[in-house]
Amino acid sequence: MRSLKLILSCFLFVSSTAMAHNGMLHIESNNDFATTQEKLLETLKEKGMKVFATIRHSKGAEDVGVTINPTTLIIFGNPKVGAPLMACTQMVGIDLPQKALITQDEEGKVMLTYNDPAYLKERHEIRGCDAVLEKVRKALANFAKAATN
């Protein structure tokens, strides 16, 4: 368990404020964990996104006697954005709806992580949908900025 925490801490330390790693963008929050989560949920609702689920991984771990740092996954989307992307290739549906992971490390540093649309383009070999992907990229970046500032 200690090794896992050390590995996760090193991973988060190496990730910069907005660094892409393995297809994910990691944004360090200027807020505490609860505020980051609240601001993200508020922003998503304000922008017409449907929040499908809020999964408190740390609560699930606690329920089975495992202690992990605060970790919550928020699953959200809007068919107005997702459907045009799926019209490009249905296989992107494996990565939709969108997800945002909020984590806090041992030192209290809070990170918001989400899939980089450029990674989705590469992973699913999406062609001819750059405008849709750019719209997704901008929206996700704006949501992250609102939650972390």
- For residue 21, is pLDDT > 80? no
Q: Please give the tally of structural domains in the chain.
A: 1
Measured in degrees and rounded to the nearest 5, phi and psi for residue 98 equal: -65, 160
**Sign of the CA dihedral 11, 12, 16, 22?**
positive
CA distance 146 to 122: 27
Q: What is the pLDDT of residue 3?
A: 47
Domain that holds residue 137: 2-148
Q: What is the pLDDT of residue 66?
A: 97
Portion of the chain with pLDDT greater than 70, in percent? 86
CA distance 79 to 89: 14
- Closest CA relative to residue 73, chosen from 83, 90, 61: 61
H/E run at residue 10: helix 2-14
Question: What's the whole-model pTM score?
Answer: 0.84
Bridge partner residues of 127 (DSSP): none
Q: How confident is the model at residue 19 (pLDDT cuts 50, 70, 90)?
A: low
Q: What is the dihedral of CA 18, 19, 25, 28, to 10 degrees?
A: -40
* CATH number of the domain residue 104 falls in: 3.30.310.70
Q: What is the pLDDT of residue 81?
A: 87
Q: What is the pLDDT of residue 6?
A: 39
Q: Which tens digits make up the pLDDT trace of 53-95? A: 999 999 999 999 999 999 999 999 999 989 999 999 999 999 9
Residue 81 CB neighbour total at 10 angstroms: 18
